[in-house]
Amino acid sequence: MSFTLDNIRAIYRDWDARPIGKHRFFSVLVPFVEKDGRVHLLFEVRAKNMQSQPGEVCFPGGHVERGENPRDTALRETFEEIGVPIERIEVIGQGDTLYGYANYTLFTYMGIIPYEVYQQANLAHEEVDEIFLVPLEQFVENPPEVHSENIFTDIDENFPYEKVGIGRDYQWRVGDWQIPIYDIDGRIIWGLTARITENFIEILQRKNPFK
């Protein structure tokens, strides 16, 4: 087999770039609801019979399907999980992206849902037990406790150290993962949802401090 530059040009001219190795993409909507003149965040509680993270508090969202862009994923999942029509969600922009150490990327989109639409939500009870609102000020008044998780490399015992020219004391990459935990009126919000919330609140306070 021989390769030519024309072969390579043809392959990469319209190449659809993808991750090298196993990687997953997720997307969530960070929903804002104005009630009684106050802006709230909308959260959902995952159904207790879910195989993944049962009973935990989260934002609407899920896995980005093949051929789907992350914005559409956030809207689709919001409709599927809590029954809010896509056309009733005002997407005001893309939020920051969370890159996880466990081979995943989580996109966030900021959206506004009218209160009357929130009141008419139709939950998919096989996925969602309930939804609830939290005023933004409560996250400022009740900052999270933050714990740190150390991430290290666990190398297979059969790794050929000599073949690649390194010793067993080789300094593999390590990292840390911050785990914020909010306790808001007995509601525990933690993990990825809390990281997204904490990040948003920090931005909001920096750009438009609460009085």
Sorted by where each begins, the domain ranges of the chain are 21-207
* pLDDT reading at 211 higher than 70: no
* pLDDT reading at 210 higher than 80: no
The confidence band for 1, taking pLDDT boundaries of 50, 70 and 90, is: confident
pTM flag (> 0.85): yes
The confidence band for 16, taking pLDDT boundaries of 50, 70 and 90, is: confident
List pLDDT tens digits, range 91-115: 999 999 999 888 999 999 999 999 9
Contact 57, 128 (CB under 8 A): no
Q: The domain 21-207 belongs to what CATH superfamily?
A: Nucleoside Triphosphate Pyrophosphohydrolase (3.90.79.10)
**Range of lowest pLDDT (20-24, 129-133, 149-153, 154-158):** 149-153
pLDDT the model gives residue 176:
86
Q: Give the Cα separation of 60 and 100 in Å (integer).
A: 18
pLDDT the model gives residue 209:
65
